[in-house]
Structures are given as C-alpha cells and as structure tokens.
C-alpha cells in the first residue's frame, strides 16, 4: 500500500479535549529514603505475568528461544521496530488517501508487566474509530505505549511512542505510530496517563474520560510507511506501519506517569533487510 495524501474526516466535533528518622538524618532525607525503599519493595514484590521481558534471561535477545511461537523473532526478515534513515527513503508517488473516521473513544487498560494494552470499548450510539486505506477499512482496536520510543528517526528516539493498532475484517494489522516529546500537557489522552501510573500488575481499569483519538494525529510533517511486524512476542510479520515524523507533546508529569511502570519497554532496533521505506 502506498499513501501520499492524508485526508482527515471527523464524524463529530472532537474536544481535545514508619520509622522515625535516625538522629543524624534530616526529615527530608528520611522521607526520601522511605519513599525509595517503598518503591523498591513494590517493584520487586510484583509477580511477573509474561514468559518474556525486556531484559535479562527472557529479554529480546532470547525471545526466539523461549517459545516456539516466538521463533520468528530470530528468523524473520521483516521485523520491527526499525531506524528510519530519512536520507534513504523513497518518495511515495501513490495518489490514494488514508482517511480518518475517528470518534472520542473510551479504553479498557490492562497492565501485564511492562506491557500496557489499552483496548477500545464500544460506546452506545457512537461509531467505532476507523481508517480507510485503499478502500479497505481498519478499526482501531488498541493503543500500545512504549517509553522510550521503539522506532527511531535518523538514530534519534523520543520520550514516548504511541502505537495505534487497527485491524481489518480479514485480520490484517495496520499500525499508526505517534512520537511524543515533552511540552504542553496533552488534553486529548484524557486520564490515560494517570491510570497507567497507578495500575497494578495484572489489573485492568476502565478510563473515566474518552481519548480524543483524532487529537493524537499530527497535522503536519512527513509520514513514513514500511512493512514490518508486531514489536512484542510473537512479533508476527505482515504488519503495515505508518510513522509520523512530527511528534505530539505531553507534559513532564504525563511522561513521568507513563515511565513509572513502563520505562525501557522498547524492543531494540531490527535490521532493515533491504525493505523500502516510503515517505510522503
């Protein structure tokens, strides 16, 4: 699929919307030590859920050995994420548009170790958020969050990467990837970052406010398209990616909220293996 024109269609108006301190220790120092100890205890006491991780003996280097279903992590030739060398992309000359039919969407958020799955929930009286590419319709199913970003632009990474995963009726995946940098507070994400910061491992929470999904899409800048894979086991290939060059912003607090439980949940860069990256 090749895309050169971005047409945005919105179905409705979206609003982006203890212990006493030791005698030679100050109260502030004691408080800081107590907080650090508490956080360390909390993080080490959590029971892992997944059979893979982002570090250690179950880290990305070993995914293909952990489970036969993950073997493509080692043998695949079209794996994600990748570094996008903007000097080596090919101009996308296709005239076909990608159209957005996004609606404010509420998500059910589940945490499994350092993985967050924000699953789109149907809302009575409101259509699902969808995109159309080459006449093919894909429905927004979930948002995955990585800190720092998994994809890179000319070797540079961002604070956060939001991956908007869409699926067609014939089970094809189309992922739109949005970079995030520190800046103004992002109103479009609703209470997502707060939920992620407080969510215990293995637990699920439903957002109280909807995400203004259209507000996550950058208005300007180049886009890069390539064929790749999912970035978590089983890293299945046959996934179409669209990466926006221009990042959106989140406040320092919002980014820290995401980093609290997810920091360093990014798969290393994979080999391009002669794949073409298209730009428009």
Q: Taking 60 as the threshold, does the pLDDT of residue 17 lie above it? A: no
Can you give the pLDDT at residue 96?
Answer: 53
Q: Taking 80 as the threshold, does the pLDDT of residue 11 lie above it? A: no
Domain ranges across the chain: 5-14+28-279
More confident residue, 18 or 236: 236
Largest CA distance in the chain: 73
Fold classified for 5-14+28-279: Carbonic Anhydrase II (3.10.200)
Segment 85-114 mean pLDDT: 89
Q: What is the DSSP string of 175-233?
A: EEEEEEEESS--STTTTHHHHHHHPPTT-EEE-SS-EEGGGGS-SSS-EEEEEEE-SST
More confident residue, 25 or 222: 222
Cα–Cα dist 240/238, whole Å: 7
């Amino acid at each position: 699929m090749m895309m050169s024109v971005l047409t945005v269609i919105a179905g409705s108006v979206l609003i982006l919307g203890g212990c006493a301190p030791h005698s030679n220790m100050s109260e502030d120092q004691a408080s800081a030590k107590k907080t650090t100890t508490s956080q360390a205890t909390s993080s080490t006491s959590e029971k892992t859920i997944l059979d893979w991780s982002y570090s250690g003996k179950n880290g990305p280097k070993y995914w293909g050995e952990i489970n036969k279903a993950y073997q493509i992590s080692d043998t695949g030739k079209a794996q994600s994420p990748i570094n996008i060398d903007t000097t080596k992309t090919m101009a996308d000359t296709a005239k076909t548009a990608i159209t957005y039919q996004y609606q404010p969407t509420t998500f059910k958020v589940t945490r499994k170790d350092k993985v967050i799955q924000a699953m789109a929930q149907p809302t009575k009286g409101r259509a699902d958020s969808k995109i159309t590419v080459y006449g093919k319709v894909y429905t927004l199913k979930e948002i995955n969050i990585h800190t720092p970003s998994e994809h890179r632009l000319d070797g540079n990474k961002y604070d956060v990467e939001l991956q908007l995963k869409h699926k067609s009726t014939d089970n094809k995946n189309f992922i739109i990837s949005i970079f995030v940098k520190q800046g103004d507070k992002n109103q479009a994400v609703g209470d997502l970052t707060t939920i992620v910061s407080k969510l215990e491992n293995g637990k699920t929470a439903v957002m109280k406010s909807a995400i203004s999904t259209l507000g996550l899409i950058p208005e300007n800048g180049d886009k890069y398209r390539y064929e790749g894979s999912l970035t978590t086991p089983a890293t299945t290939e046959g996934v179409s990616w669209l990466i926006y060059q221009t990042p959106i912003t989140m406040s320092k607090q919002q980014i820290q909220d995401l980093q609290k439980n997810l920091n360093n949940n990014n798969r290393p860069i994979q080999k391009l293996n002669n794949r073409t990256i298209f730009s428009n």
